[in-house]
Structure 1
Amino acid sequence: MSKETMSVQEMSAQMGISLPKAYELVKTPGFPSIRIGTRILIPVDAFREWLVITSNKQK
């Protein structure tokens, strides 16, 4: 069973960006994230969809 969410640290590593840049990205309007207390989680499927949509906008 694969994980449904990932942490900001995992997203940072997966994208190859710095942790501060990843936190900046999470605060961007429209970026898919869930706050549970102080923890920030990113739904994997929503993140992949956001990535495709965002990359298509920049073409």
Structure 2
Amino acid sequence: MEKTTMSVQELSAQMGISLPKAYELVKSPGFPTIRIGTRILIPVDAYKEWLLKNSAHR
């Protein structure tokens, strides 16, 4: 079964960015997150859609 969410640490590794930059990104308006208590999770499908909309294919 494929994971449906990823942690901020996994996002950091996936994007090749530092952990502080990943936290900055997940706090930015429009970035898809789910908050459970203090935990921040990123829905994988919503992240992929966000990435396509915000990539530099302009």
TM over 0.5: yes
Q: Secondary structure at the match of 1:35?
A: strand
Residue ranges of structure 1 left out of the alignment (5+ in a row) = none
Q: CA RMSD in A?
A: 1.1
Aligned runs of 1:11-30 on 2, under 5 Å? Answer: 11-30=11-30
Give, in whole Å, the separation in 1 of the partners of 2:14 and 2:26.
Answer: 14
Give 1:24 deviation, angstroms. 0.1
Kindly provide the CA deviation profile for residues 4-50 of structure 1, in whole angstroms up to 9, marking residues without a partner as x. 00000000000000000000000110000010000000000000000
What is the total number of aligned residue pairs between the two structures? 58
Identity among equivalent positions (%) equals 78
Q: TM-score, normalised by structure 1?
A: 0.94
Structure with a larger share of its residues in helix: 1
Residue ranges of structure 2 left out of the alignment (5+ in a row) = none
User: Which residue of 2 is the match for residue 52 of structure 1?
Assistant: 52
The runs of 4+ residues in structure 1 deviating greater than 2 Å are none
Q: Secondary structure at the match of 1:42?
A: strand
